């Protein structure tokens, strides 16, 4: 059963989820040769973290998001983006319409075979598919022990779930996908600042935590809050934006 983000607080999600390095977005835009008239489709757009980055480049953006709460907030905060209900397996666009399809931290929720086929359908010839992943990188020495303890508690509680295993599988994506060119990969370091008091709220927006049953989920979030109280008030978190890029293949002849 697919996880529904309608169970997640959309405001917390918008405020706390990691975003993507501008350099990562620019690399994709350059490789895809995006121009002001180009159409970028943001699949499973959430509240628009990735849409926001592409709007700043001046391209047209259509955000496809199945969760009504996420889509409503996106439509309010990003009026220049067209927000549509839909999924990666049923994209509400016609054939060959998109110059690029982008996905932020979400492809592990898709039926990969069906999603690749549907993305290829909506992409124009040589259009780009870019999967963005916001990953945690090494933390500064002063934070490492405290953050590590939280990570260990989270790892023990959530264990190995289908969501976790699907996410980890995309650390090593397929080099070759039917109908697409060979995979290209780049990684871009970035940092972000957040209040330690909001770490529990951040974890609560993650599907692997939000999908935990009662009373396990609130117990885990309470423990995260307790551990976060021993951290500095403001955290500088080292992260990176990993990008996996394919282009719609054009058969010879």
Cite the beta strand spans of the chain per DSSP E: 39-43, 60-64, 82-84, 98-104, 123-136, 184-195, 234-247
The answer, as to whether pTM is greater than 0.85, is: yes
Query: Going by C-beta distance under 8 Å and a sequence separation of 6 or more, which residues neighbour residue 97?
Result: 39, 122, 124
pLDDT in the model for residue 62: 98
Contacts of 12 (CB under 8 A, 6+ apart): 201, 202, 204, 205
Virtual CA dihedral for 226, 228, 231, 232, nearest 10 degrees?
-120
Which residues contact residue 202 at a Cβ distance below 8 angstroms, ignoring those fewer than 6 apart? 12, 16, 17, 194
Dist. CA 132–CA 149, nearest whole Å: 27
pLDDT of residue 141: 47
Residues sharing a CB contact under 8 Å with residue 195, sequence separation 6 or more, in sequence order: 233, 234, 235
The token pair that represents 30 in the structure block: 């350059």
- Return all residues near 198 (Cβ < 8 A) that are at least 6 apart: 15, 16
How far the first Cα of the chain sits from its last, in Å, is 42
Six-digit token pair at 34?
């995006």
pLDDT given for residue 142 in this prediction: 45
- Mean pLDDT per block of 10 residues along the chain (253 residues) reads 88 96 98 97 98 97 98 98 98 98 98 98 97 79 69 88 92 95 96 94 96 95 96 91 96 67
């Amino acid at each position: 059963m697919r996880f529904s983000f309608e169970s997640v607080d959309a405001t917390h999600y918008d405020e706390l989820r990691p975003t993507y390095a501008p350099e990562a977005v620019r690399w994709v835009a350059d490789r895809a040769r995006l121009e002001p008239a180009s159409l970028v489709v943001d699949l499973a757009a959430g509240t628009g973290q990735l849409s926001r980055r592409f709007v700043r480049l001046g391209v047209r953006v259509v955000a496809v998001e199945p969760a009504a709460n996420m889509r409503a907030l996106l439509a309010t905060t990003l009026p220049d983006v067209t927000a549509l209900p839909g999924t990666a397996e049923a994209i509400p666009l016609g054939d060959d319409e998109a110059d690029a399809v982008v996905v932020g931290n979400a492809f592990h929720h898709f039926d990969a075979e069906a999603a690749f086929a549907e993305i290829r359908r909506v992409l124009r010839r040589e259009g780009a598919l870019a999967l963005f992943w916001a990953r945690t990188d090494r933390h500064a020495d002063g934070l490492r022990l405290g953050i590590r303890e939280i990570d260990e508690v989270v790892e023990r509680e959530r264990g190995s779930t289908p969501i976790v295993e699907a996410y980890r599988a995309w650390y090593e994506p397929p080099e070759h996908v039917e109908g697409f060119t060979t995979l290209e990969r780049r990684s871009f370091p970035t940092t972000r600042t957040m209040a330690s008091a909001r770490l529990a709220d951040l974890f609560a927006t993650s599907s692997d935590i939000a999908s935990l049953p009662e009373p396990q989920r609130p117990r885990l979030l309470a423990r995260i809050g307790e551990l976060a109280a021993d951290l500095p008030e403001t955290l500088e978190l080292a992260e990176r934006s990993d990008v996996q890029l394919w282009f719609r293949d054009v058969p010879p002849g």
